Structure 1
Amino acid sequence: MKSALITGANKGIGFETAKQLLQKGFYVYIGSRDLKNGLEAVQKLNAEGFNTVEAVQLDVTDDNSVKNAREAIGKKTDRLDVLINNAGINGGAPYTALDAETEQFMAAFNTNVFGVARVTKAFIALLRKSAEPRIVNVSTSVGSLYLQSNPNWLAYDFGKYAVYGSSKAAMNMYTVHLAYELRDTAFKINAVCPGYTKTDFTNHNGGEIEAAGKRIIKYALIGQNGPTGKFFSEETNPETGEIPW
């Protein structure tokens, strides 16, 4: 049975992604900053008939929390097949470049960039033991420098979200380098935008959460001939999914 770890999976898109991987026969570790929330998420999935799931306390901004999660999962399995770096924050209002405080940038980067690097580094040894290791870094189209600077883009005037967009652009660069470093291995590593989705993150505006989950697991399940080191937003580009960095 293949296994997956999803950070920030106790609700929203992370929870839906966990559910869809369970439907595919995975054993899923739900990473949750608050273990109580993670356990409640597991109970909800158990009630739907899914039993190959468990919660692990995992705060991506805390070195000890990540270390403890790695040790806990390492005691239960000798490999990890999929890592989905889903945990993220928008940094809070005000969102614009001149109004946002330095502390907002620091908080967003700590979760969205440093957290991704911290978790990936901690679990890379387990992932290396998989025959088909996959890493999906959950991104956003507003992290595309090309799109965000293009006046013809439909979302150009939708709001700049300087803090969130900057942190995701940095995470995208991390994804490029990670994919490059592992280019001669079985790893497939991509940045995936789930689209504007009805969750707490968007005040429940946007598309259906099931579609967002499908967009993520598509790249968690790609075969050995699939892409790596790419940026996908099927909401932005329905034809091929790939968008410019």
Structure 2
Amino acid sequence: MTDNMELWKKSHWLSKSKKSYAQHFFRDEWQAIVENGGDVPWHELFRTSMEDTKASGKLGMEAFEHFAGRIHEKENPRTKLLERAEHEIKKYLLDGTYRGYGFDRPRNLETEPVLIPAECWKGVVSWADNEVSYQSLKFREVRVRMMRENRDPILKKPFEAPVRKVGRPTVGPAIEEAFHALLKIKEIDPAASQMSHYPKVKKWLEIHHADLNVPPASISDKTIQKYFSLLFNTLRKKSKTINPLGI
């Protein structure tokens, strides 16, 4: 099972991804900008440009034009380089080379980030706010995994047998495991109701997790819903995104 939370935590914030990309892939150009003082906080750039203007001895409109020119001289190369980085990042997100992860609902202790479908990057991308909107979908706290999937060390990590805890296993992880197992064998239908899958979950648990701390047949619908709902709703949204007309 892919650990989206780990992938999200170890990815770049959308708002910082352009600078990270430029520093790595446009290294020489970025270094030239740094040496020219173009990568300094705005207030520092303002201060140094103001000091330079005062030292020039210019007054009135000439002083303003000199000040604006100094700001433009320092800021423009950086802006253009970041625009190039933004273009490249978005291109790679659209073709699947890079991946974006974010939250499709308000966060709580149990909320997990989801993989943002590539076509969503055709929508409105708010780089500064770390948000992506596409049709009826909205992803918040977005981060970008800037590497190819086949080179991702997190995805290459071998699956390890979980360390068994003392006592019987709890139902939450088992229900999530049932969802993914049923999805793999095409027993999860996003077009059907969520509750229609609960008998399948219980049956799967009876076969594969008879040692649960609660007998599978006695697990309430409310308990199944607690762990099943997020996974099912995420699948349903992805299904609607891929096939919005339902045909």
Q: Please give the range of the TM-score, normalised by the shorter of the 2 chains.
A: under 0.3
Task: Please give the TM-score of this superposition, normalised by the length of structure 2.
Answer: 0.26
Structure with greater proportional helix content: 2
Flag the structure with larger Rg.
2
Q: TM-score, normalised by structure 1?
A: 0.26
